Amino acid sequence: MGPVRTELMWQSVVDAVDVAGAGDALDVLDLGGGTGSDAVRLAALGHRVTVVDPSPDALASLHRRGVEAGLTEGVNAVQGDAADLLDHVAPSSFDLVICHDVLEHVDDPGQALATISTVLRPGGHVSVVVAGRNAAVAARALAGDFVTARSLVGRSAGTWDVRSMGPRRFVVGEVEDLLTSRGFVPVATTGVRVFADLVPSAIVDTEPGARDALYALERLLSTSEDFTALSAGLHTIARLDLSVATPDPGGKSAAL
């Protein structure tokens, strides 16, 4: 097994694929897919993957990763971002959109989800992982930075300016409300990494069996609402509900 963090993040992709169409070869968009660790693994499983990411360096790493994995097809890499997504991919062309650790960085997460809804096929799914605000409070407090911890408590994702405040943090209700307001029906929200980011790597890497035991603990806690609220990552899988009118992706987004 690789690093626990990587494996837990990969498991959230596997869980999304299972919900979106277990056993089928899917058309998957990995928006903000970065260096393609998930995309290459998905392609190796037979899915057709498109990565859209603004970073040329990340896309170059993705290319190298694909070559090293011996993939000659299965991943289509495009330089672009959430705001110009429709310049790069066709409407209604994906079964699943993966959007992991990306809504923290975009200017307008609601706008990004509205655009994602237009590139999904009817009944398609989105998998969103965002950084949890409560975990950030705990991490700051445990590091002795009580002032920042306190300031994070009162911040809302809806008024978070990423340019002046850094990556946005969410609580579960904000993610689910954001999805619902863009025509999605949340299927499940789970926690990713309750402890994995907090445990010193010296323990995980040197204690015999610690890595497997931590992974098993994280998987057990992932479906507990109490622990999800404290997780570093909040993972929501949601289905596009065509009976709910979605806003025009070119239009002004509603409040979170």
| Residues near ligand SAM (CB under 6 A) | 9, 31-34, 53-55, 58, 81-82, 100-102, 105-106
CB of 206 to ligand SAM, least distance (A): 26
Angle at 166 between CA 196 and CA 13, to 5 degrees: 40
CB of 99 to ligand SAM, least distance (A): 8
Nearer to ligand SAM, 54 or 158 (CB): 54
Other C-beta atoms closer than 10 Å to the C-beta of 148 total 13
Cα 201 to Cα 213: distance, rounded to the nearest angstrom = 14
CB of 247 to ligand SAM, least distance (A): 18
Nearer to ligand SAM, 68 or 226 (CB): 68
Nearer to ligand SAM, 104 or 176 (CB): 104
Task: State whether residue 255 is helix, strand or coil.
Answer: coil
Nearer to ligand SAM, 8 or 106 (CB): 106
Which H/E stretch holds residue 38?
helix 37-44
CB of 157 to ligand SAM, least distance (A): 16
Rounded to 5 degrees, φ, ψ at 168 are: -70, 145
CB of 209 to ligand SAM, least distance (A): 27
> What type of residue sits at position 131?
A
Report the half-sphere exposure of 140 (CA within 13 A, side-chain side). 15
What's the alpha-carbon Rg for the chain, to the nearest Å?
18
- 3: closest CA among 27, 37, 28? 37
Decide if 50 contacts 28 (C-beta within 8 A): yes
Nearer to ligand SAM, 98 or 229 (CB): 98
CB of 19 to ligand SAM, least distance (A): 18
Decide if 252 contacts 107 (C-beta within 8 A): no
Nearer to ligand SAM, 83 or 149 (CB): 83
For helices 133-142 and 146-153, angle between their N-to-C axes, nearest 10 degrees: 160
Nearer to ligand SAM, 9 or 26 (CB): 9
CB of 113 to ligand SAM, least distance (A): 12
